[in-house]
Amino acid sequence: ITEADKQRLQELRDEEESAHLQLCKDVHDKSYDIYAGDGIENPDRARSWFTPTWQSMEEYYDVVCDRCRTGLAYYKNGIFQGLVKKSTRIRTNSPELAEALDLKCRCPQGEHVQMIGKSAALKEMQNYEPNFVQRAAKAIYNNMENNWRLRQIAQVMVTEELNDEEAEKERKAAQQ
């Protein structure tokens, strides 16, 4: 790789950080402010995790899901060849999502299919496997339910406070 190539690659990474990665951080920050769940996923060893933008994020859980645990597999001509580890890091403000996807590999050493040189198969693996989706969906739903309860409690508390203030005003007006 030439120096010009290295420089161009760094320019592209800087552009990605100032646009996409910053957007993800902004959404995460806003989600936290409004009690909404959020999540970001990238390969565990992606450089994006080490950028100043994502390093400056706060209030999150980081977990790694080894996708062999959710059934990610390589099939050649429709025939199962084996599980694929594909470690994916998830950053979320949802404890439910973090717990659901904190899955470390339990496979015996050397049991995974190596995907080097299988770019067409890797492209197909960009889609989530059903077990990953089911786990994430259930956790997201539970997080939404919990956040809804918190909002309802807050609304009741505010309503009670307003009612108390109104009663106090009426009491003071009656005393005058």
Dist. CA 65–CA 9, nearest whole Å: 28
Q: What pLDDT does 46 receive?
A: 93
Dist. CA 32–CA 35, nearest whole Å: 5
CA neighbor of 46 nearest in space, from 108, 12, 89, 81:
89
CA neighbor of 82 nearest in space, from 63, 62, 108:
108
Question: Which portions of the chain are predicted below pLDDT 70?
Answer: none
Q: What pLDDT does 118 receive?
A: 76
Check if the beta carbon of residue 41 is closer than 8 Å to that of residue 90.
yes
CA neighbor of 86 nearest in space, from 42, 51, 120, 118:
42
Q: What pLDDT does 39 receive?
A: 92
Dist. CA 15–CA 172, nearest whole Å: 61
Dist. CA 90–CA 98, nearest whole Å: 7
Dist. CA 46–CA 161, nearest whole Å: 48
CA neighbor of 91 nearest in space, from 42, 50, 130, 20:
42
Q: What's the whole-model pTM score? A: 0.76
SS3 content of the chain, % helix, strand, coil (to 5): 60, 15, 25
Dist. CA 39–CA 63, nearest whole Å: 11
Q: Which runs of E-coded beta strand occur in 2-143? A: 39-43, 61-66, 73-76, 79-83, 87-92
Q: What angle do CA 42, 107, 135 make, to 5 degrees?
A: 50
